Amino acid sequence: MGQEGYNPYVTAQTQFDNVADIIKLDQSVRELLRQPSREFHFTIPVKMDDGSTKIFNGYRIQHNDARGPAKGGIRFHPQETIDTIRALSMWMTWKCAVVDIPLGGGKGGIICDPRTMSKGEQERLCRGYVRQIAKNIGPVLDVPAPDVMTNGQHMLWMMDEFEMIHGGRYPGVITGKPVGMGGSLGRTEATGYGVIYNLREALKVLNIDMASTTASLQGFGNVAEHAARLYTKMGGKIIAISCWDQQDKKAYTFRNLAGLDIEQMASIKDSFGTIDKEKAQALGCELLDGEDWIAQDVDILLPCALENQITPVTFAKVSDQVKVLCEGANGPTTPDCDELIKAKNIFLVPDFLCNAGGVTCSYFEQVQCNTNYFWSKEEVLEKLDTKMTAAFQAVYKLAQEKDLYMRDAAYVIAINRVVEAVKLRGWV
């Protein structure tokens, strides 16, 4: 599903440079913000079930913490790269700033494939990761969370290891934990719901009734599934879902022009978002090529998988019917597509605004852990909706006032907030 030759870090820096030019940013501030403040590279020896020891490469990158502790997930992926993590740490800085929460940007990762590892091997890997960075993370330093192919159980093992090393209880050191163990209600749904809160606001300004719209979706992990659930609950119709097939090592698009039953589709996928082909076809789905999700005659495109999925080559397939592109994934669109999006008059909700529901709810989890008082699910989702709606409206207002592309407007707000913090601290 990825596009070879594209570097997410170059993408992140290019997007930053474009906006730095718009706001005439000082050279010293540019140099500070276009690269991470700190990087930790390390090896993790893990005793495997067969008695052998395997060495894994791990990373934790802190882009900027001027506005508060670094915040960002830890991914497990066999093709993970350091530049991907650098890019994601930058995007986390802007993401926290655009929704105006007092956190900075960080990201972590391990080059591994948890799908081929036993539960015990995964636990030992998680604990080994924390042993390497225990001095560099913490509730007031850097707060990790789940990301691609990591979950609440992984986070709990990591928290437990951190607490054993430091000799105390530190529930605020990590978010995305299971409910009842310091996790927040609503966290599972938060990122996907945030995508749809943004979509709802976009459709309002375009004067389009969501109940009259159709959508095509890339990905069917946690973000995509809950985005699909809320979108269909609000009356929208999803006709296509593209996802990776772990067995065949390729992507497929599942299509039903009458509309996919999201509940049914969720019931036939595994924990990594792979939909069972045979069961899907039995439910009336057509089986298409993995990239065909982008070519559907729909009103809305929802890329909710990995970075660099929408390139000039794939964008050429986009239907003239498409009115809105909501970037549920991090960096799904390459910079050379932005002019194409504008030319097609597609309304863009940029990634670090669109998918900021996850980090916003992680912030809520941190607050709840630090106060040892937990909110109801309704309260969490209500606060999330309020925060996401306010962020969208601020970005849209600036875009209208200054005649800016939505991505640029979001960046202007986010970068200006970080620049202010950096200058007030006297770093530049």
First to last CA, the chain: 41
Residue from 34, 38, 2, 29 nearest 17 by CA: 34
How many Cβ atoms are within 10 Å of 345's Cβ, its own excluded? 9
DSSP structure class, residue 423: H
What tokens were used for 334?
Answer: 């390459």
Interatomic CA distance for residues 10 and 400, integer angstroms: 28
Residue from 342, 50, 121 nearest 350 by CA: 342
Interatomic CA distance for residues 333 and 349, integer angstroms: 11
- Please say whether the beta carbons of 210 and 236 come within 8 A: yes
Q: Residue 64's beta-bridge partner residues?
A: 105
How many Cβ atoms are within 10 Å of 340's Cβ, its own excluded? 17
Q: Which residues are catalytic?
A: 107
Q: Which long-range contacts (CB under 8 A, 24 or more apart) does 410-414 make?
A: 410/94, 410/98, 410/350, 410/352, 410/353, 411/15, 411/16, 411/18, 411/19, 411/94, 411/350, 412/19, 412/22, 412/23, 413/97, 413/98, 414/93, 414/94, 414/95, 414/97, 414/98, 414/352
| Angle in degrees, CA 31, 34, 39, rounded to 5 | 100
58 to each of 46, 84, 122, 295, 347, how far by Cα in Å?
12, 13, 14, 37, 38
Residue from 80, 86, 73 nearest 33 by CA: 86
